[in-house]
Amino acid sequence: MTTVAVLCDPPQPGAVLPELVEGTPVSPEDAADLYTALLCDTVEAVDGSGGELLVNYRPAEAVGVDGDAEAIIREAIADVVDTDDARFEVQVGETFAGRVGNTATHLLETEELSSVGIIRPEVATFARTDIDSAAMKLRSCDVVIGPSTGGRVHYAAFGEPIDFTDCYAAPAVETLTNRCLDAGHDVEFLETKQSVRTPQELADAIVSVRAHDTAGELVPRHFAAWIDGMPYEVVTDDDGLSLV
C-alpha cells in the first residue's frame, strides 16, 4: 500500500493560489474556495484509492494566516473524508523540495514503508485511478512521476529515496527525473495532468472540465461545482483563453 502525502496549505484568503489572485479577477476569497475544492477532490481521490491518506500541512505562521492550520484543513475536508481516521502531520522544511524530502525520507526509511506518493492539490483532474496506476507501476520500477503543465510534477511516487535537495527546481519534471536516474532508479510516467496555478492554466482547466461534464464524463466534482458557481467567464482573445 502506498502512503500518499497531500502537501497542502490552510485554504484561507491570501494564503493560496497567489498567481491567480494577481493575474485574474479571482478574489482572495474565491481563490480560497477554489483551493478548498481542489483539496477536497484530491483527498477524496486518495481516500478512494488503494493508498493511505496523509494530510501534510504547513503551519499557519508559515503562510501568514491566523488560527490552527490543522483545524482549518480538517474543517475544509470534513465532508469528503473521515478526519478522525485520516493522518495529519505538519510539514518540516524551508523549501517545497525540502518538505517533500523530509516527508518521503521519513516514511521510507524511518517508518520503513514500501512506497510513498507526494501530491499538491493544485491539480484539476487527479483521480484515484492515477494513484492505483502508479502503485501498479511501482511493482516494476523505483519511481513513478506524473508530469503537469508548465514542466511541473503533479504526482511522484517513490519506492526508494533519492537526494531530494532542489529536486523540484524548474522544470521539475526533468529535474526530478534526472535526480532519480542519477540515483540508479528506474522511472516510469503517468499521463500529464492540468495544473491550475496560473491564469492560463485555470482558464484551460475550466474549459476542459466543462466540456467533459457536458459529454457526460466523470469530472472532479468539487472543482466542477466551483466552476458552476463562479462569477467569472472564460473568453478567447489573441493570447488564448482568459478569465474575465
> In order of start, what are the domains of the chain with their CATH numbers?
3-194 (3.90.550.10)
pLDDT reading at 237 higher than 90: no
Q: Tell me if residue 189 falls in helix, strand or coil.
A: strand
Q: Tell me if residue 155 falls in helix, strand or coil.
A: strand
State the average pLDDT over residues 112-139: 95
Q: How confident is the model at residue 238 (pLDDT cuts 50, 70, 90)?
A: confident
Q: Tell me if 103 sits within 8 A of 117, measured CB to CB.
A: no
**How deeply is 22 buried, as exposed, middle or buried, from its count of CB atoms within 10 A (0-12, 13-18, 19+)?**
exposed
pLDDT reading at 240 higher than 90: no
Q: How confident is the model at residue 24 (pLDDT cuts 50, 70, 90)?
A: very high
Tell me the whole-structure pTM to 2 decimals: 0.96
Task: Say which amino acid occupies 81.
Answer: V
CA atoms within 13 A on the CB side of 218: 7
Q: At 19, phi and psi to the nearest 5? A: -65, -35
Beta carbons within 8 Å of 136's beta carbon, 6+ residues apart: none
Q: How confident is the model at residue 177 (pLDDT cuts 50, 70, 90)?
A: very high
pLDDT reading at 239 higher than 90: no
Region of 216 please: left (phi>0), alpha (psi -120 to 50) or beta. Answer: left
Q: Tell me if 143 sits within 8 A of 159, measured CB to CB.
A: yes
Q: Tell me if 31 sits within 8 A of 16, measured CB to CB.
A: yes
Beta carbons within 8 Å of 165's beta carbon, 6+ residues apart: 97, 98, 101
Q: What is the mean pLDDT of the chain?
A: 95
Q: How confident is the model at residue 94 (pLDDT cuts 50, 70, 90)?
A: very high
pLDDT at residue 16, as a whole number: 97
State the average pLDDT over residues 61-72: 93
pLDDT reading at 80 higher than 90: yes
Q: Which has more confidence, 66 or 119?
A: 119
Q: Which three three-digit cell numbers place residue 106?
A: 521519513
